[in-house]
Amino acid sequence: MKIIVCGAGQVGVNIARQLALENHDVTIVDQAPDLVRRVSDTLDAQAVVGHASHPDVLERAGIADADMLIAVTLTDEINMVACQVAHSLFDVPTKIARIRQKSYLDPMWANLFSRDNLPIDVIISPEMEVARAVARRLRIPGAMDMIPLADGAVTLLGVRCTEECPLLNTPLKQLTQLFPDL
């Protein structure tokens, strides 16, 4: 896949690194020349200096052929506009944006990120993810992680098992009988 990553900060570079390791065609865009130079020196990725929401910059990055745009600059509004430009001008199939400002994420404004308004397919909110992770851990003490699947019908639990752990060698079908709180 051809993927454009907007933002060469820590998050953008780590995303680009992982995608490049998975053999994706990655281009990273940032307006800081030193960050772009570091990316081109250390990653198997193209790098473009420029403002991530400007159509001409995205075009230089190869967005016309992109399958995905991931906008993780430090500014929510740049991330949103980059996704809008990717959608409206270049018909990029998948747009992902980091949105940190709570007011944008308020359920009252949920329609903001619809296909007809700001077409962002996936919103990443680090603060919301941390809050959800803490809430999941509090629901089942001892669980290292909880991942809801199938719209909450099934939950995958991560637990640390020592040699004395009663979960060890227990058949899955008996877990809910023996441990009803799971």
CATH number at residue 8: 3.40.50.720
Indicate the number of domains in the chain.
Answer: 2
* Residue 79 in domain: yes
* Residue 113 in domain: yes
Looking at the structure, do residues 82 and 24 belong to the same domain, yes or no?
Answer: yes
Looking at the structure, do residues 117 and 151 belong to the same domain, yes or no?
Answer: no
Looking at the structure, do residues 144 and 117 belong to the same domain, yes or no?
Answer: no
Query: What is the pTM assigned to this prediction?
Result: 0.76
Highest mean pLDDT among 85-94, 112-121, 141-150: 85-94
User: Which residue in 31, 32, 25 sits closest to 16, CA to CA?
Assistant: 25
Tell me the residue range of the domain where 160 lies: 140-178
Q: Has residue 73 got a pLDDT over 80?
A: yes
Looking at the structure, do residues 59 and 84 belong to the same domain, yes or no?
Answer: yes
Residue with tokens 């060698």: 169
- Across the range 95-119, mean pLDDT stands at 84
User: Which residue in 54, 14, 34, 35 sits closest to 26, CA to CA?
Assistant: 14
Q: How far is residue 165's CA from residue 39's CA, in Å, rounded to a whole number?
A: 45
Q: pLDDT tens across 4-37, in order?
A: 999 999 999 999 999 999 999 999 999 999 999 9
Q: How confident is the model at residue 99 (pLDDT cuts 50, 70, 90)?
A: very high
Looking at the structure, do residues 54 and 78 belong to the same domain, yes or no?
Answer: yes
Looking at the structure, do residues 42 and 68 belong to the same domain, yes or no?
Answer: yes
Which residues have C-beta within 8 Å of that of residue 178, sequence separation ≥ 6?
166, 170
Q: What are phi and psi of 137, to 5 degrees?
A: -65, -35
Looking at the structure, do residues 110 and 30 belong to the same domain, yes or no?
Answer: yes
* Residue 26 in domain: yes
* Residue 114 in domain: yes
